Every structure is written in structure tokens, then in C-alpha cells.
Chains A and B, each alone.
Chain A
Amino acid sequence: MNKHKNNKHKNNKHDIDDQLADFTDQILNVKSAKRDDDPFSPDPELRALKQTAQRLKNAFRDDDPSEKVIQRMHKKIAVQLQERVKTEPFWKKWIPSRQGWYSQRSRQQLRLALSLTAVLMLFLISIPQFIGASPDQPAASGQNINLGFMIASGGLLVLLAFLLLRRKQ
């Protein structure tokens, strides 16, 4: 009995879905629906839904922007895009943007350049330690420095390899 009731309720909802969809298709195809044309339906739920759909249609009926508006917006967009290019600071050209002014390729190149610079700087900083190291100095401190250097450069090399691999993908 309950199952039968549920099925009936389901079918009723399904009917309402279809009727509301058909009604919406109808009113959206009519250019100027009058406000007073209250959609008649014996079912109060469907009637209320139809009225809301009709109300929405009526409220926004003059939908499309006019040619004048389209042209005006187009001009403003062109001007703003040009201004953006003109006023963009020079350094911004070198910074990768998530928004995508720059191509993915240039971002990858920049990433590679930064990684290589970091390795080079680390190498230059560590040169004096190698040159200055003498056999008279206690072995332990020299070993510590070298160990730190090895770890840091190892980390950088791993990072570099990771970036290069990503680039190849």
C-alpha cells in the first residue's frame, strides 16, 4: 500500500517536472509574455511553480544587450587591455604569472635559470672554504663545513633534477 503511494507520489513529481520544463520552454520562446497571463493549472503546486517561472521571465524579459552596449564594452575592453600592456612594470615580464600572461615555456626556462643561478652561487660561496682549508686546521670543523655543503648542494641537485624532469614531462 505504502509502496503504491510512494510510486504515485514519484510519478506525480515526475509529471510536475515535465510540465514545468515544457511551460518554461514555451514562455521563453515567446518574445513578450504579458504579466497578467497567469498560468492556469489545477494543481496548486504546479501553478505556483509556473507563476514563479513566468515572473522570472517577465522580470528579465529584455534580455540581450543592445548593439550599442556591445560596441561600447568592446571599445572599453580594448582600451583597458592596451593600458595594461603600457603600464605593466618592466620587471613583471620576468616574473611568471599564474594568470598566464607568459607562456608555460618561458616559466620553465625561468625556473631552470633560477635553479642554475642558485647552484652557481652556492659553488662560488664555497670556493674560499676549499682554498682556505689547510692541513694545520683541526679536521673536525673542516669536515663539518664540507658535510653541510655536500648536503646543501645535494639537495639543490635533487631539486634541479626534479625541475628538469618536470620540464621534460
Chain B
Amino acid sequence: MSEVTFMGVPRSRIDWYPTIDYDKCNYCMDCDEFCPHNVFEIRENEEKKLIVKNPHNCVVFCRACGKTCGLDALSFPNKTETTKRIKEVRKELEGND
């Protein structure tokens, strides 16, 4: 599969994905049930029963799983910083053409 890009930037270079606050999470798994992109993975037999397995599957700027979380246990990066980063990488890639 060719490399996935977002706005012309390889997805792997954009740090956008949810972070689970394990102090708040009660493993209701609503976020996993909701996300159609397989970002999370359930691990029944481990202490952390839910992990962010495929961070780069996460849709850049999407925070929808966070809205399913009544406990506010999911956080995301700062959008302004992320946009800045995307612009930087685009500049860099233009320079390489």
C-alpha cells in the first residue's frame, strides 16, 4: 500500500492521536466501539485493557472518540501546533522537489 498522506504530508510524520488517561478510563470501550479506523485495541487479559494500537490510523483533527467518553479520559494534541507542524513538513518537502 502506498504511504498514507494528509494534506500532502506522510501520516507517520503527524503526531495526532488520542492519549488515554488510565486514571480516568473505566474501560467502557465506547471509544473503541465508535472508532471505525481501528485506532484502539482491547486487551482483556492485560492491566491496560485498552491501548492506542494504531495511532496513525487516527484521522488528523478528529476528536470524535473523545466525545463518546463521559469521563473525559481521552486527550488530543493542540490543533494549532499540529497545523504548524504540517506546514513545516510541507515546506521541507517542497524544498526536496
A binds B: no
Please list the residues of chain A having a beta carbon within 8 angstroms of any beta carbon in chain B: none
Please list the residues of chain B having a beta carbon within 8 angstroms of any beta carbon in chain A: none
